[in-house]
C-alpha cells in the first residue's frame, strides 16, 4: 500500500509548523554587513591593485610568471615536441 501526502505551504509556514526559528532577520543583517565590507574593500580588488600586490615583494616575479605561463602553454624548454 502506498500513501502520498502533498502539502502546499510556504517555507515560512513550514518552519513555523516544525517549530524552527525565523532566521530571515538575522540573514538580512548578515547580508547587509557583508555588503558593507565588500563595498569598503572594493578598491583592493581592482586589477591594478592586485598586480601591484603580486609584483612588489619580488622584482623577478614578472619574469617567473612569464616563464610559468610559457611552460604551461608548452612553449618553454621544459617540454619537447617529440613523443
> Where along the chain do its domains lie?
9-40, 44-75
pLDDT at 2 over 90: yes
Q: Is it the case that residue 9 has pLDDT exceeding 90?
A: yes
DSSP code, position 3: -
Specify whether the CB–CB gap between 15 and 22 falls below 8 A: yes
| 0.95 exceeded by pTM | no
Q: Which residue has the higher pLDDT, 72 or 35?
A: 35
> Hey, CA dihedral for 28, 17, 20, 6, is it positive or negative?
negative
Amino acid at each position: 500500500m502506498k500513501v502520498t501526502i502533498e502539502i502546499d505551504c510556504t517555507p515560512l509556514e513550514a518552519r513555523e509548523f516544525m517549530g524552527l526559528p525565523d532566521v530571515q532577520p538575522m540573514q538580512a543583517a548578515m547580508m547587509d554587513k557583508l555588503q558593507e565590507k565588500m563595498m569598503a574593500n572594493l578598491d583592493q580588488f581592482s586589477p591594478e591593485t592586485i598586480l601591484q600586490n603580486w609584483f612588489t615583494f619580488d622584482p623577478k616575479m614578472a619574469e617567473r610568471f612569464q616563464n610559468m605561463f610559457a611552460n604551461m602553454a608548452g612553449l618553454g624548454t621544459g617540454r619537447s615536441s617529440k613523443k
